Amino acid sequence: MASSSRDNHLNKVCCYSHPEAPLIEDYRAGDMICSECGLVVGDRVIDVGSEWRTFSNEKAGVDPSRVGGPENPLLSGGDLSTMIGPGTGPASFDAFGTAKYQNRRTMSSSDRALIAAFKEISTMADRINLPKTITDRANNLFKQVHDGKNLKGRSNDAKASACLYIACRQEGVPRTFKEICAVSKISKKEIGRCFKLTLKALATSVDLITTADFMSRFCANLDLPNVVQRAATHIARKAVEMDIVPGRSPISVAAAAIYMASQASDNKKTHKEIGDIAGVADVTIRQSYRLMYPHAAELFPEDFNFFTPIDQLPPV
């Protein structure tokens, strides 16, 4: 058998007589053979495929894998413990019908609680289309809270919802309490309590939310063009800088700014349409808009192309 010849330039296994010829891999023998002259240029090739074959008449749901799931550093022991499956043959039981081989270590209640919480966080994140980076951060936050035992008496679902809310804000893609509450089983009030307790327990903080954090998402869900979005962003920022809307939440200010910008364009939206997307009541939008309306001329950007003049905007 010829030894393996290697191209110094391409750094790959090839036949020295036919370096451009494709190689044929013999999976049974573990050899790589030149397709031109039949020279064996590589032997003992490791087969990286699966170690089993699946046939159509086999029972569905039978997993032939023996390696288990991936390592999870958030679980005790890294989730690398061996679990012995239940025996089915007569050799698995003694004369009294007791299983001969049993698991030396069963999953602890702590790990079961963590797995259930991680599953709940993943489900909530999937329902509001959050990326895996936020899910991983929320899992880490929950692990810290669970190990610290600082939130005793609070349900795991409430702690999981609060951790997901904090993860969204720390990753720069904040969601409102109503959005988290819509995909959770917990009330908004309970999530808010756990949110404050979690921040205190972990000695961490989150950045203050601004109107710009929600503007692009709200405008996209309302099918508004970029011109209206830029105008609404400018209106909301100027309203906050001029202290026109003191004490109003950034979400209600953003909703009112979108309403004002849409009414000045040819893509008009009602209070109810904006309120349904932003999760804000119609009355709340009207109150913020009523404060902004007298200063409309100062709030709009200078290059905005008005479809409806400022003096014809609705007063409420």
pLDDT in tens, the chain (316 residues): 444 444 444 567 788 888 888 888 887 777 888 988 888 888 777 766 666 665 555 555 555 555 556 667 777 665 556 666 666 777 777 777 777 666 555 667 788 888 888 999 999 999 988 889 999 999 999 988 888 877 788 888 999 999 999 999 888 888 888 889 989 888 888 988 899 988 888 888 788 888 888 888 899 889 998 999 999 999 999 998 888 888 888 899 999 999 999 999 888 888 999 998 888 888 999 999 999 988 888 888 888 888 888 888 888 7
**Residue 167 buriedness (CB in 10 A; 0-12 / 13-18 / 19+):** buried
19, 56 contact by CB (below 8 A)? no
Between the alpha carbon of residue 20 and those of residues 30, 144, 276, 289, 300, the distances in Å are 21, 56, 64, 72, 67
| Residue 263 phi, psi (nearest 5) | -70, -25
Q: What number of H helices and E strands is found in the chain?
A: 11, 5
* Chain center to CA of 142: 15
Q: What pLDDT is attached to residue 3?
A: 45
Q: How far apart are the first and last CA of the chain?
A: 89
CA distance 212 to 239: 12
271-278 and 212-221 helices, crossing angle to 10°:
120
* Strand ranges for the chain from DSSP E: 6-7, 12-13, 23-26, 31-34, 40-42
> 44 Cβ partners below 8 Å, 6+ apart?
30
Q: What pLDDT is attached to residue 1?
A: 45
Domains and CATH numbers, the chain: 14-45 (2.20.25.10), 109-202 (1.10.472.10), 211-312 (1.10.472.10)
Amino acid making up residue 113: A
What is the 8-class DSSP label of residue 76?
G
